Amino acid sequence: MNDFKASGNPERWREYDQKHIWHPYTSMRHPLPAYTVSSADGVFLTLDDGRRLIDGMSSWWTAIHGYNHPRLNAAIEEQLKSMAHVMFGGLTHQPAIALAERLVELTARPLQHVFFCDSGSVSVEVAIKMAIQYWFAQGRTNKQRLLTIRGGYHGDTFGAMGVCDPVNGMHQMFSGVLPQHLFAPKPHRDDGTWDDAWIKDFKDLLENHRDEIAAVIIEPIVQGAGGMNIYHAEYLRKFRQLCDENDVLLIFDEIATGFGRTGKLFAYEHAEVVPDILCLGKAMTGGYMTLAATLTSTKVAEGISADGQGVLMHGPTFMANPLACRVGVESIDLLLESPWQERVSNIELQLKKELEACRNLSVVEDVRCIGAIGVVETTIPVEMPWMQERFVENGVWIRPFGRLVYIMPPYIITPEQLSKLTGTMYKVLAEWSERVG
């Protein structure tokens, strides 16, 4: 086998990386340093200089079982022996069928049909297409807009960008080419109370534009990258009711929240509300391969072809990649065989208890937790490079953004490892309080 290694030494690799490779949301003129990871195992990331970091991010919600899991490794190795990939047009395979069976089984009963795609953003594109095509096929050709709530994040492709928070969504410069969708206010942070007045703006927008709106799209219970907002389940019940009353479909984007992260297998279970279309991704393969899915009800699936010939207009090259599907099957089985509910609820209790101390720091605005998600919101944007380095020096991997320092660790994390994460969050935030006065 060829030695695949980049030429030179670790210092040169870092330089090459900075000079030639974009990382998420970075500049080629002012590149930020990236740490070189040489391996990952359990909850640990090992850097090329030998340092081991406890991972607080699960590689952006994905690595729920930790890294280098023997069962996930074995599944993908086994699949590799029969086939790495085949096209999905006109062909099918057991990994896709087995994964679809599990997704249909685990999600709410009306969701019966699965579209596999290559990333979360694409699954949102597909969900939007499904909704517009559904109404088109019923002759309601004006229903092409979407209604959402501020503070959302649905991905980086154009259709998905169009429903991200218009200010926070990191996409302002594209507003001229994005479809003009409708935005209701950001939902109130959940403090256990509910007031019907909170839904009024949403209701007015929906009722006033019902003839133009194809669907409402939202992240149930937890808004992720748009601000890590946690909101009351009553919102979901109201969204469902208002959508039904106004002939509008309801799309839930559970790309971040799916597969147990909020303490329920899917966040919509907190409200016992079922969407017409559901987007899944991120943790679906336990962090091994990029794969996402858009699920829908028979009503929507058949409705898309109501005019007798309509087909769903999408078909990615790597649709239902067998390696990804096979590891997805294994990840789901592993999750269901594990005491995940107990693990996630223990993590929640510990996060609530241990992050509480952060409230006393002058730079801290709010602390909130749900399931295996712990968020500390700061009063001013964090100094990213400084804070990132402090975390690494303390042996943890936590990647803050904006005014958010947050963790969503692998479910297998031990109480001691979790204390190390929360303790370091407090320590570094306390240092930063001193630093900014």
Ligand X SMILES: *Cc1c(COP(=O)(O)O)cnc(C)c1O
- Helices 70-82 + 322-337 axis angle, to 10: 150
394 binds ligand X (CB under 6 A): no
Cα(316)–Cα(116) distance, integer angstroms? 9
Residue 427 falls in the annotated catalytic set: no
Identify whether the C-beta of residue 428 lies closer than 8 Å to the C-beta of residue 390: yes
The stretches of 356-414 forming alpha helices (DSSP H) are: 384-393
Q: Which is nearer to ligand X, 154 or 264 (CB)?
A: 154
Stretch that binds ligand X, among 249-257, 307-315, 347-355, 408-416 (CB under 6 A): 249-257
Comparing CA positions, the residue from 335, 220, 250, 225 lying closest to residue 284 is 335
Q: Which is nearer to ligand X, 234 or 254 (CB)?
A: 254
151 binds ligand X (CB under 6 A): no
Comparing CA positions, the residue from 275, 279, 273 lying closest to residue 259 is 279
CB of residue 411 vs ligand X: minimum separation in angstroms?
Answer: 17
Residue 231 DSSP class:
B
Could you tell me the maximum CA-CA distance found in the chain, to the nearest angstrom?
Answer: 67
Stretch that binds ligand X, among 77-85, 113-121, 349-357, 406-414 (CB under 6 A): 113-121
390 binds ligand X (CB under 6 A): no
Q: Which is nearer to ligand X, 290 or 424 (CB)?
A: 290
CB of residue 289 vs ligand X: minimum separation in angstroms?
Answer: 11
CB of residue 219 vs ligand X: minimum separation in angstroms?
Answer: 5
**Taking CB under 6 A as the criterion, which residues in 274-303 touch ligand X?**
281-282
Identify whether the C-beta of residue 187 lies closer than 8 Å to the C-beta of residue 231: yes
The first and second tokens of residue 82, run together, are 């029969």
**Residue selected from 255, 325, 358, 369 as contacting ligand X according to rule CB under 6 A:** 255
154 binds ligand X (CB under 6 A): yes
Cα(168)–Cα(156) distance, integer angstroms? 13
The first and second tokens of residue 161, run together, are 């960008």
**Residue selected from 125, 234, 253, 330 as contacting ligand X according to rule CB under 6 A:** 253
Total interface residues for ligand X by CB under 6 A: 15
Using CB positions, name the residue nearest to ligand X.
Answer: 120
Site string for ligand X, 203-242 (x = CB under 6 A): ----------------x----xx-----------------
Q: Which is nearer to ligand X, 273 or 429 (CB)?
A: 273
Q: Which of 5, 19, 25, 191 is catalytic?
A: 25
- Helices 340-355 + 415-436 axis angle, to 10: 30
Stretch that binds ligand X, among 115-123, 126-134, 259-267, 390-398 (CB under 6 A): 115-123
Phi, psi of 86 (to 5 degrees): -140, 155
Stretch that binds ligand X, among 118-126, 230-238, 270-278, 400-408 (CB under 6 A): 118-126
Comparing CA positions, the residue from 268, 188, 259, 270 lying closest to residue 230 is 188
> For the chain, how many helices (H) and strands (E)?
13, 16
Phi, psi of 131 (to 5 degrees): -65, -45
CB of residue 170 vs ligand X: minimum separation in angstroms?
Answer: 12
Q: Which of 129, 282, 406, 411 is catalytic?
A: 282
Stretch that binds ligand X, among 43-51, 148-156, 305-313, 315-323 (CB under 6 A): 148-156
Cα(304)–Cα(316) distance, integer angstroms? 19
**Residue selected from 45, 99, 213, 256 as contacting ligand X according to rule CB under 6 A:** 256
Identify whether the C-beta of residue 47 lies closer than 8 Å to the C-beta of residue 53: yes
Residue 268 falls in the annotated catalytic set: no
Comparing CA positions, the residue from 288, 293, 295, 294 lying closest to residue 324 is 288
155 binds ligand X (CB under 6 A): yes
Phi, psi of 146 (to 5 degrees): -120, 150
Rounded to the nearest 10°, the torsion over CA 76, 253, 173, 184 is -170
CB of residue 157 vs ligand X: minimum separation in angstroms?
Answer: 7
Residue 282 falls in the annotated catalytic set: yes
**Residue selected from 58, 107, 119, 262 as contacting ligand X according to rule CB under 6 A:** 119
Cα(304)–Cα(248) distance, integer angstroms? 14
CB of residue 225 vs ligand X: minimum separation in angstroms?
Answer: 6
Q: Interface residues with ligand X (CB under 6 A)? A: 119-121, 124, 153-155, 219, 224-225, 253, 255-256, 281-282
User: Which positions are catalytic?
Assistant: 25, 153, 253, 282
